[in-house]
Amino acid sequence: MYLGLDLGTSGLRAVLVDERGVLHAASECAWPVHRPQPGWSEQDPADWITGCDTALSELRQTSPKAFADIRSIGMSGQMHGAVLVDHDGSVLRPAILWNDTRSAAEAAELDKANNVRDLSGNIVFPGFTAPKLLWVEANEPEIFAKTAKVLLPKDYLRLWLTGEYASDMSDAAGTAWLDVGSRKWSRALLDAGHMRADQMPRLVEGSDASGLLRQERLDAWGLAGPVVVAGGGGDNAAAACGVGCFREGDGFVSLGTSGVLLAAKNSFSPAPDTAVHSFCHAVPETWYQMGVILAATDCLNWLAKNLGDSPATLAQKLPDTASGPADVFFLPYLSGERTPHNDAEVRGAMIGLDISTDTQTLTQAVMEGVSFALRDSLEALRTTGTKLDSVLAIGGGTASPFWLQSLATILNLPLRIPAQGEFGAALGAARLAMAADGHSIKEIMTPPEVAETIEPRSDLVPAYDAAYAKYRALYPNLKAALT
């Protein structure tokens, strides 16, 4: 059996799969995000440990035989977070998360440094790890001085599991300390970020072993061992492994808390000026590019909270088929934006409200606004030479037929919907565990069965194209109004 752990922003999902990749059991736990100041987003790493232990205890109770058979563990994790630990491995402050924008000034300054974009392959976004440490240096110098290691969220979990300070290439690529083309820590990037090589964890490929589950964990969980812990991957790289997306031309769109449009690449071909991310994949000699929007289903959650309703109820009030764009435009920049604007300060807006605007129209506008933002990512990817003929659609937002058809038409791309079953980051983590145990990457990382394909509404493409052009024109005016 193989255990996949997906450490997300809102909680952890654990899955047990066999050597054929068939799901045997799953469990979940949740934890809070703390926002002590505007633009800040933090978590207590102790919550991750408690949550993981709770989820695995549930698996032990519900599937004791399968759990006892675990051969290897793989991990996926929210990217870019900064966990600062001292020489004893003790956490020095709450983890600063990917959607924290406090280090916008430090990111802008680091982005200007010589060769930073060339080596990292990316704009230095405020959410990346390196500017977070510059912020800590400037604002919490006593904490900065005590920092012996900086770990990404899943790698702090790895420390608890194995006692090893290690990370994988895909997660490390989001720090702005990694030479993404060469797949190694860059001394020049570390110097630019005022960091040292000894503060970095050891690097492994996501499909290789990073260590063994330590005896304390074996005893606590009743495992005979040895149990290998794979390098694992950042959440999007692991999700790509879970849906078999690692060949040139493979791609997926994710309607999760954030929104992602990802394309696998056979070579490192960065285009930082587009605000497209270029990262190492979780498997060797492979990379990927992606456009990222900071709020996708989070936008619907925001609307539901303010209307005193649930996201599912709002979605159910819409028809199953799209009939053309709403008269109201929604700009989904509730937490700033990455692709294509790289703007931590911009905020969202509703434009075109009328006395007759109702809940259904607001919900439609939110779904279309997120879809237009993903169209921004598609256009940015196309400027790099990336070509996608269709994409898999995953994430919680895919439960809405209206959203799916609107998105397919706005992107003018067929969306392939996976059949029911486990896929995505948790399965990708389990597949990386299988690879670390000797299974062939090509044999295990296969795409899921497609239940249906949502084709663009050709009769509505011109209307949505026109609406997208208006949407694109709104950003500079909104920016000017907020400045």
* Look-up of token digits 């670390």: 436
- Among residues 6, 171, 208, 235, which one is catalytic? 235
**Cβ distance 60 to 222 under 8 Å?**
yes
The reply to whether omega before 340 is within 30° of 0 (cis) is yes
**Residue whose C-alpha is closest to residue 85's, from 159, 182, 181, 8:** 159
**Cβ distance 282 to 234 under 8 Å?**
yes
> Interior CA angle at 242 toward 241 and 248, to 5°?
40
C-alpha R_g of the chain = 22
Round to whole Å and give the CA distance between 98 and 299. Answer: 17
Q: One-letter amino acid identity for 342?
A: N
**Cβ distance 165 to 151 under 8 Å?**
yes
Round to whole Å and give the CA distance between 360 and 421. Answer: 31
* Look-up of token digits 């050709």: 458
* Look-up of token digits 């999760």: 256
* Look-up of token digits 């159910």: 316
User: How distant, in Å, are the alpha carbons of 44, 297, 337, 432, 434 from that of 332?
Assistant: 28, 10, 8, 34, 38
* Look-up of token digits 């129209």: 361
Q: One-letter amino acid identity for 419?
A: A
Reduced to 3 DSSP states, what percent helix, strand and coil does the chain have, rounded to the nearest 5? 40, 20, 40
User: Is 6 tagged catalytic?
Assistant: no
Round to whole Å and give the CA distance between 50 and 57. Answer: 10
Active site residues: 235
